[in-house]
Amino acid sequence: MNHHIKSVADIYAFNTLSVGVSVGDLSHDDAGRRWREGEGSSILFLLGHLLSSRVGLLKRFGETEENPYAELFGGNAEPRDAADYPPLEELASGWDDVAARLESTLAGLSEDQVLASAEGFPIPDQTARGALMFLAWHESYHVGQLGLMRTEMGYPSVQARLYEAMR
């Protein structure tokens, strides 16, 4: 692992675990519940958005696969009703696959790749390392939203689920 990104890679690894425990005990119907009187995001949307973001990140580092999540969940996509999305189990499986690919990609990055220019993110470090840091922050923001949504529906907190997972 490149020493320039070890800490940020650890954040991605923790987010991988956090998302897994956040969605692992949910029903598809609950994950599809939209907030703000049916106009806001759902857990399905956030999970798809996180997937789209990670696939986009992988593409920055050389993956050539098209982003299967971009149309429904990418960049400027607006939340939709649950019927428009893949089943929760399919998105959760996609999360596991993309997480493994990201872990492998991060582990194999050279110093030149990490320090290469990556402009366009609202962060002073305009290198790939800065992009990784910004996108880890972005991801963590949405992981927090997942936790809030699930506890509002009466599910155990992500923290409680994490402690269970670590036993």
**Domains of the chain as residue ranges with CATH:** 6-166 (1.20.120.450)
pLDDT value, residue 1? 62
Q: Can you name the residues that pair with 100 across neighbouring β-strands? A: none
pTM: 0.93
34: which 2 tokens? Answer: 């939209």
Sign of CA dihedral 53, 55, 57, 59: negative
User: Is residue 51 a contact partner of residue 15, using CB atoms and an 8 Å limit?
Assistant: no
Q: Distances from the Cα of 72 to the Cαs of 44, 84, 119, 140, 163, in angstroms? A: 11, 8, 25, 20, 33
Euclidean distance between CA atoms 117 and 137, whole angstroms? 19
| Residue pLDDT, tens place only, 55-87 | 999 998 988 889 999 999 988 888 888 889 999
Task: Give the tens place of pLDDT for each residue, 133-149.
Answer: 999 999 999 999 999 99
